[in-house]
Structure 1
Amino acid sequence: MLRLIQSNDLVQLAQHFGAVSAAASRDPLAPEVVIIQSVGTGQWLKLQTAEHLGISANLDCQLPAQFIWRLYQTILGLGSQKPVEANSLTFKLMQRLPTFKAPPVQQYLNAGPRLDLRCFQLATRISAAFEGYLLYRPDWIMAFEQGQNPISAAPNSAWQAELWRSLIAADPGLRTTHRAYLHQQLLKALKTTDHSTQLPTRISLFGLSSLAPLHLETFNHLANQCPVDLYFMNPSETYWGDITTEKSAQQSRLDALSQTAQTPKDNYAFLGNPLLASLGRQGQEFHELLTAQADLIAEEDFVPRHRTHRLGILQDDIYWARETEDSVIDGLLPETQDASLGFHSCHSPLREMEVLLDRIYRALADPAIRVTDILVMAPDIQKYIAVIQAVFGDALPYGIADQNQYQNSDILRSFIQLLNLPNSRLPASELITYLEVPAIARRFGIDDEGVTFIKAWIKETGIRWGRDGASKQKWSVPDETHFTWQFGLDQLLMGVLTDEPITDLSVLPYALPLDHLLVLNAFLDFCQTVFETQTQLETVRSPEQWASAISSLLERLFDPVDQERQDLIKLLDLNEAFLQLSVDESFDRRVSLDFVIAWFDGQLNRPNPAMRFINGGITFSTLTPMRSIPFKMVCLIGMNESDFPRRDAVHPFDLMTAAPARIGDRSRRDDDRYLFLEALLSARDRLHISYCGRGIRDNELKPPSVLVSELLDYCNAVFGQQTVIDHPLQPFSQRYFQDPLIQSFENHWRVNPSRQSKDLTRLSEITSSEPIPTSLSIETLSRFLLNPARYFFESRLNINLTLRHEAIEDLEPFSLDPLTRFHITDLAIQAQATGTPKKQWVADILKQGLVPNFSLGKQALNTIAVAAELLFNEIQGVYQLGRPSVTRTQNVHSFTLQGRFDQLSA
């Protein structure tokens, strides 16, 4: 029995599910199977069931594909066999594509270097297309296997059919394990044999907004052997399957006029609610598929509401499928008193978050709203993670779902960087980045103080990039060791052996304290490991050899503790999966590192499936199907014209884009339209929508998403002109503390009225009770005369204006900065005084890495030598090598100036 339970309220559906579950007589140890569209829906349903029944236990929430594959294993006897999915298809295609002779394939593969990477990218695209055919066009796949081509008119169809047949020929087992074949066999089994003992006592499909026709057909056949309940959130109680937009209606009329014969029905078009017609196409098609199922029992549990705020009126109009002129606005609250619906135009994602925080503070003034009642969604939450963390900080509890696995893991990020070592110039900053990963520094016994020492050594020994001179040739640079790791490390090692310069060596010893030797030893071990890893990864290997090399890399470079161990386990599991895939698909050809990096990067860039959606605070997430579960406050951010609705990725190899669409086909744009409708309906009390409506550089207007524009047009038609709040560029604008419509709760931006001067051309006199000093040092006086304002801030207000940012340089110098030039000039004058030959002191300076060891550097040294010689000739009679210090005191009026002059040469 297939039963369809419809409601406009997901909470009502959850209560209905709970009541059915509580009333059912079943084995208490048998799980209650629930098919869901997202992990978040399952989590929410468990919470609702616990709230309704007092307990929620043994709910087995599964995704549709996961459940159906288990059916294949159970009913068709596949046992523990793994499904044919994107990764396995990709590895199969990696085997076939290099020798597959189709011109489009060979043209792409031979279009440039890095063949393995290009092959992997192409295999990934084609496997995604084949997966789509298996799910939405299974008849094509079956026809391909029979030597037929049902879409012969479509470009690229002939070679794809041939490619599929070649995969079958290479692996005959694929013919009987792919989804299209197994679906046919499952339906036959369900029609001819009683499998009720192998099925759950009941199957519930909860909150699905779409389902592939192949999956829906499966559940329809399952309903003949066990109860199947389908809980569908229907936005409207009235029938809305035939409503259409004004644009579509006009197109239908034009089509009718162009035809010679029309029936009255062909010219009929029911407009209904424009938002429902424009945003609800996906729901229309899914509802049509549901109601077309045989022996369907339909139940309704709709909950009409009559509210007077703008959001409630919009939702009521959609519920009754009203046109704009039929909207009921009796008792409508004035816009200034209605916080249910807000549109906000900002200059940047950062400003969106600052505005959002203020709006949430305002909402939390209502005791009925808690932080757990607030959901914030964006087209891509990854773009907002940094600003969310910066703005919300510790202000309010929150959690971010859908973060890719890189986001909070130094180990995962550094792992991909390490895999890219063969493509790296080994800049100094990169190796420091590795040492700033605690698990790597711990492996080599280097603490934070040690990293500080190492940064100083790198800077002072002139290490910039390149392992040694020979490695520079890879980058079309002459074989020159200056500014390489070898150059700097040799200085450090020589500093251990001696503190005196040795003429025959190419470097000068670096003065290294004895208590730093342990850090130096660990640093040398780290550098050697990185260099060896770079060399090892340059080799072309088989997948089995790559798995071994990666396992060795993880062991040699990481020493995780606590939560870091989970990240390392994740990498070890991925490495094992990579090896197992290659074994399962008999993929043993030697491949380059490009393929390995691309595969691991793709796996790690996916959202973490184990991450909780609801986590005890404000929930931030990406807009995905059925994420729009009921919340009292729903916030949609990043609703920009270019970002939402998201575009369908157009791949020339995907034949579904070239063939006529079918009911039930997925469209990214239609998905997003329905997501927007779901979000609009799931907001109980408040809906907050923001977008970047102004350029941050030029303040130019930028349009919002077309869906936001449609909603604004509807509001304007029903309520009159709807206000879009145009926020200032800066959070400290006085508008936030003068305009109640956009009041800010961030008081640290507020200007104290008592300190706000109306006459900005004059400043209040700064008075002080501190006595004027009678004694000043030359240093203090010079600091004051050079910059009086800076001196005031630092000495009187204790504000340190010094920017301490010691950046690690990655590029060798091509010119001398003033301080280096002064230092070299001083050395040149000392050499003149001691009679040191020019050739020797120039060589010593080159050994220190103070200047580039090529024509520009030598030319700069010659220029300095000439200037130093002229200067020495002028001061030769008074020049002193001892560099004494002199202290002087001078009375000036009522002040005493004191000064100490060090390092005097004359």
Structure 2
Amino acid sequence: ELISDTGIDGASLTWRVYAYLKDDAFVRTYPRLVQATSSMSDTSRFSLAERIARVLLTYNAFRNDWVIAWLKGEDPKCEEKILTDPDYAWQKAMWQKIGQDLKLPLEHPARRLRQTPEAFRETSELHVLMPQNVAPFYLEFLAELSRVRDITIYVINPSEIYWFDLNRKTVIEEGSHPILSKWAAQRKALNQLLIDFTYAQNREDVSLEQVPFRKEEPFGKEPSNLEWLQHSIFKGNAKLFENFHEPRRVVDGSPVYDRSLEIHGAYSLKREIEAFVDYLYDIFQNDETLKASDVLVLTPALEKAAPLFESVFTNLPEKRKIAWRVVGRSETARNELVTTLFQLFETILGGFGVREVYALFSAVPVAARFRFTNETLDKMRNLFEEAGFHQSLNREELAQKSFYNGKRFTLEAALNRVMLRYVMREDFDDVVGDIRPEGRRIDKEPLAALYRAFEVLTDLFEVSTQKRTLSEWVTRFLQNAIANFMQGRSEDEIRVNEVADLIMKECEAGEAHNLAIDFSTFVAIFKNKFKAYTFGAKPVPSVTLTNLANMRGLPYRVIAVIGLNDGVFPRRTEAESFDLCLAAPKAGDRQRNADDKNVFFDVLTATRDHLYLSYTSRDMANGTRLQPSSLIRELLECLTNQNATTKDDWLIEHPIQAFSAANFYRGEAFEENDVDIRKISFDTELADDINVCQGKPAVFNIVEEAQSEEIALSDVLDFWDNPLKYFWKRRLGLNMARDDSSFTNDEPLILSELDKWKMNTDIFDELMESGQNGKASDKSRLLAASIVPSGKLGEKAVDDLCSKVEAFAALCRTDLEKGPS
């Protein structure tokens, strides 16, 4: 409550910063702001406001002494290079404006607890499970709260012996255990911060103690490599790496495999997943107690990996099916309504090109709203081509463009042309189809539905042309689009409304400054909200794929991390150039790279039996070797430096294709000593196809005889029309976008030879039927044709055609008058 009373949160602070950036008087005072915001669009200005707000919130959490000094009109006690930084003055002034607007106290908000201690006094003890990273700002609240009630804080210490003890004496030297030094630095900084903060209180009622570790269970069998690695972390002793053994070694003449810790390289992310499936088959075969629910698959790029994961696991043969599920995906990847909203945004911002409009009308929610069937959409394609629609919605939208575009090529002009031809020409049914119900009413037919869609789209465009407050954008555009332009699943609408409610909560901050934003800025805000909006990830009774950070620390018997490519994880992010913390960093400062390493450390320590890591090791195009994540490189260094193993012992590389003969056993019979189980595929179907001996996985190679299936003629036609599209639809359940390759957003600049022939025929027939011995009578009709370029180009083309045809018609008339010779 004390924190929320200050009004300092990401959304409200962003709007305040945005208001300051639009205040010319404030911006002109600081050359750095003038330089950054000159010629900046509203969308870019709002994006800058978001970035500045994030940095200011960091100061409040990790440099609260700076903020308090600024609010008092003073400079903080910090290094001189911070005070002389060119970005220091405007950030100090901005915090002072924030303090004046919000009437912030000139002390830490936690001090207000001393004014009304009874309001927070409780008889029960407060237990706090400390997160992985906590800012000093929040520790002050706990310190003040501890004056009126007992608080016990629990902090995870991954090692029996760490870099410090409670007397602040170094127990082991920095770097003596490479895993702890490189991956658990963030946790070390948090523990040290808590200890230093506790000692700084100088209070007799504050104490620190280390909870004794439970007695370690003795190994019931020969420890695996993963167990030795985790045991070395627990003991804080890197010398235990000497107990590692080769992952594949020969004992009593037979190969013995330790598959508890493996690193795999493949040519693509899909091949990584295919290799992992074979890994699962092998450990399932050798451990009957393993279940699908014991397997967790993590990836730093869930949206990229999910479709490939679904493709591989969905197409496993019935006898080798593995239950699976993807959880924690972004809402934008699952919600058709949101996807269509994004299409609508891009169509409006992109100028209503015929490709974009047709794709928008083909989207499932729009087609459902206006009852566009597949047949109707096919007719719509022909209609757009025949009517000459290329780009722009109508004259009003066209007038906003700075470049010239013929008014005859807008959607409005095309629909008017269609309606006119519908009324005037009986043979236009070939294009539009049978749209004439009894009484010539067309309000419920495809053409009328297309007009209704056009009218709603026009209304939405008109709303988008003016600057509006955030609440107006939600009510007048977003809700209007959902209610009148789309029809989605109820659960999709619920998700959209939830995000709309989140945006509406920001409206108070925006409207307090009476701020109006343009359409592109609203689109950016809406997209950012939805990209951050995900389903909760929780364990499910199957093989689970989710984002690397979603289920960190949860114990699983088998954990796989796929897609560990260089630069992907840990993520490479550049800090803001105006972040003053960079000039004087402190232990415990938030760093994405350190956060990611801590996540991976959690994965390592949470794995019970098998840890599987993979990355794309070679370029698909030329076979060039690619670097893995720095985490894999550091792990390989640890595994090889202090024992007799080599990098090749730990790294298993797979061929470029699943059907490569190198994935299977060779020869008449299986000889276990001659193969490496870790590289072998269990795909018996592929083994049969390429005529190699499968041999080993007898448990899985029973395949039922395929049942005959009646194939409809429509399926044959769909396959013949587009085999790839048919495959995606039938095998993967994915509907590809409708073909728009025949569309072009560009208006014609010249007449094609076929168009010339059509116009020549029309002109010649008119001259010959009229009996006139002169020029074509109605050039305006010719210039109105959708195939004729606009302006002078069109006039020149029509004049050239008319002069040539007129001369030819005159010769024909002369010959006809003479009669046969």
TM range (shorter): 0.7 to 0.9
Note closer, same or farther for the CA distance 1:268–1:467 as it changes in structure 2 (3 Å cut): closer
User: Corresponding residue for 1:317?
Assistant: 232
1:210–1:286 CA contact under 8 A, matched in 2 = yes
User: Corresponding residue for 2:682?
Assistant: 745
Q: 2:91 corresponds to which letter in structure 1?
A: Q
**Cα separation, 1, equivalents of 2:499 and 2:241:** 59
1:344–1:727 CA contact under 8 A, matched in 2 = yes
Q: 1:286 corresponds to which letter in structure 2?
A: L
Deviation at 1:544, TM superposition (A): 4.7
**Cα separation, 1, equivalents of 2:247 and 2:500:** 60
Gaps of 5+ in 2: 199-205, 250-254, 317-321, 666-674, 694-712, 724-738, 817-821
User: Which segment drifts farther, 84-93 or 275-284?
Assistant: 275-284
2:281–2:682 CA contact under 8 A, matched in 1 = yes
Deviation at 1:708, TM superposition (A): 0.7
User: Corresponding residue for 1:408?
Assistant: 334
2:120–2:145 CA contact under 8 A, matched in 1 = no
Q: Share of identical aligned residues, percent?
A: 20
Q: Does 1:238 align with 2:161?
A: yes
Deviation at 1:590, TM superposition (A): 3.2
Q: Normalized against structure 2, the TM-score is what?
A: 0.77
Paired residue for 1:487, among 372, 391, 413?
A: 413
Paired residue for 1:356, among 262, 276, 279?
A: 276
Deviation at 1:193, TM superposition (A): 4.7
1:491–1:510 CA contact under 8 A, matched in 2 = no
User: Corresponding residue for 1:343?
Assistant: 263
Deviation at 1:201, TM superposition (A): 5.0
2:760–2:801 CA contact under 8 A, matched in 1 = yes
Deviation at 1:489, TM superposition (A): 0.7
Paired residue for 2:99, among 164, 168, 182?
A: 168
**Cα separation, 2, equivalents of 1:846 and 1:747:** 66
Note closer, same or farther for the CA distance 1:164–1:291 as it changes in structure 2 (3 Å cut): closer
**Cα separation, 1, equivalents of 2:155 and 2:645:** 34
2:133–2:190 CA contact under 8 A, matched in 1 = yes
User: Corresponding residue for 1:283?
Assistant: 187
1:436–1:451 CA contact under 8 A, matched in 2 = yes
Q: 1:288 corresponds to which letter in structure 2?
A: Q
* Backbone CA RMSD of aligned residues: 4.1
Task: Report SS of the residue matched to 1:702.
Answer: coil
**Cα separation, 2, equivalents of 1:270 and 1:470:** 69
Note closer, same or farther for the CA distance 1:351–1:871 as it changes in structure 2 (3 Å cut): farther
2:616–2:628 CA contact under 8 A, matched in 1 = yes
User: Corresponding residue for 1:384?
Assistant: 305
Note closer, same or farther for the CA distance 1:359–1:462 as it changes in structure 2 (3 Å cut): farther
Task: Report SS of the residue matched to 1:132.
Answer: helix
Q: 2:226 corresponds to which letter in structure 1?
A: L
Paired residue for 2:554, among 617, 629, 634?
A: 629
**Cα separation, 2, equivalents of 1:236 and 1:511:** 74
How does 1:557-636 map onto structure 2 within 5 Å?
557-583=485-511, 586-608=512-534, 610-624=535-549, 627-636=552-561
Task: Report SS of the residue matched to 1:351.
Answer: helix
**Cα separation, 2, equivalents of 1:600 and 1:538:** 17
User: Which segment drifts farther, 430-439 or 323-332?
Assistant: 323-332
Task: Report SS of the residue matched to 2:608.
Answer: strand
Task: Report SS of the residue matched to 1:464.
Answer: coil
User: Corresponding residue for 2:459?
Assistant: 532
Q: Does 1:451 align with 2:377?
A: yes
**Cα separation, 1, equivalents of 2:751 and 2:312:** 42
Q: 1:128 corresponds to which letter in structure 2?
A: R
1:422–1:535 CA contact under 8 A, matched in 2 = no
1:495–1:510 CA contact under 8 A, matched in 2 = no
Q: Does 1:129 align with 2:61?
A: no
Q: Does 1:556 align with 2:493?
A: no
2:661–2:692 CA contact under 8 A, matched in 1 = no
How does 1:632-651 map onto structure 2 within 5 Å?
632-651=557-576
**Cα separation, 2, equivalents of 1:565 and 1:799:** 32
Task: Report SS of the residue matched to 1:620.
Answer: strand
Q: Does 1:209 align with 2:132?
A: yes
Deviation at 1:651, TM superposition (A): 0.6
Note closer, same or farther for the CA distance 1:490–1:624 as it changes in structure 2 (3 Å cut): same
**What do residues 158-184 of structure 1 show as CA deviations (whole Å, max 9, x unaligned)?**
221111111222332x448xxx73223
Task: Report SS of the residue matched to 2:409.
Answer: coil
1:633–1:684 CA contact under 8 A, matched in 2 = yes
Q: 1:562 corresponds to which letter in structure 2?
A: S
User: Corresponding residue for 1:686?
Assistant: 610
Q: 1:743 corresponds to which letter in structure 2?
A: I
Note closer, same or farther for the CA distance 1:410–1:220 as it changes in structure 2 (3 Å cut): same
Note closer, same or farther for the CA distance 1:495–1:351 as it changes in structure 2 (3 Å cut): same
Note closer, same or farther for the CA distance 1:469–1:330 as it changes in structure 2 (3 Å cut): closer
How does 1:121-270 map onto structure 2 within 5 Å?
121-150=47-76, 151=78, 153-154=81-82, 155=85, 156-172=87-103, 174-175=104-105, 181-186=108-113, 188=114, 193=118, 195-197=120-122, 202-205=126-129, 208-219=131-142, 222=145, 226=149, 228-241=151-164, 269=173
Deviation at 1:314, TM superposition (A): 1.6
**Cα separation, 2, equivalents of 1:530 and 1:228:** 59
**Cα separation, 1, equivalents of 2:553 and 2:810:** 84
User: Corresponding residue for 1:728?
Assistant: 655
Deviation at 1:340, TM superposition (A): 1.5
Note closer, same or farther for the CA distance 1:149–1:647 as it changes in structure 2 (3 Å cut): farther
Note closer, same or farther for the CA distance 1:635–1:443 as it changes in structure 2 (3 Å cut): same
**Cα separation, 2, equivalents of 1:751 and 1:427:** 50
Note closer, same or farther for the CA distance 1:821–1:424 as it changes in structure 2 (3 Å cut): same
**Cα separation, 1, equivalents of 2:433 and 2:785:** 14
Gaps of 5+ in 1: 1-68, 243-264, 502-506, 757-793, 880-906
1:469–1:478 CA contact under 8 A, matched in 2 = no
Q: 1:235 corresponds to which letter in structure 2?
A: P
Task: Report SS of the residue matched to 2:564.
Answer: coil
Note closer, same or farther for the CA distance 1:576–1:800 as it changes in structure 2 (3 Å cut): closer
**Cα separation, 2, equivalents of 1:333 and 1:309:** 12
Q: Normalized against structure 1, the TM-score is what?
A: 0.71
User: Which segment drifts farther, 439-448 or 454-463?
Assistant: 439-448
Q: Does 1:426 align with 2:352?
A: yes
**What do residues 522-555 of structure 1 show as CA deviations (whole Å, max 9, x unaligned)?**
1101112212321221112344543442344443
Paired residue for 1:87, among 3, 8, 11?
A: 11
User: Corresponding residue for 2:702?
Assistant: none
Paired residue for 1:849, among 765, 786, 803?
A: 786
Q: 2:588 corresponds to which letter in structure 1?
A: G
Note closer, same or farther for the CA distance 1:287–1:841 as it changes in structure 2 (3 Å cut): same
Paired residue for 1:368, among 264, 279, 289?
A: 289
2:664–2:692 CA contact under 8 A, matched in 1 = no
**Cα separation, 2, equivalents of 1:357 and 1:841:** 72
Note closer, same or farther for the CA distance 1:164–1:873 as it changes in structure 2 (3 Å cut): same
Across the two proteins, how many residue pairs are aligned to each other?
A: 724
Q: 1:812 corresponds to which letter in structure 2?
A: E
Deviation at 1:753, TM superposition (A): 5.2
Task: Report SS of the residue matched to 2:210.
Answer: strand
Note closer, same or farther for the CA distance 1:676–1:856 as it changes in structure 2 (3 Å cut): same
**Cα separation, 2, equivalents of 1:851 and 1:305:** 87
Task: Report SS of the residue matched to 1:744.
Answer: coil
**Cα separation, 2, equivalents of 1:842 and 1:510:** 25
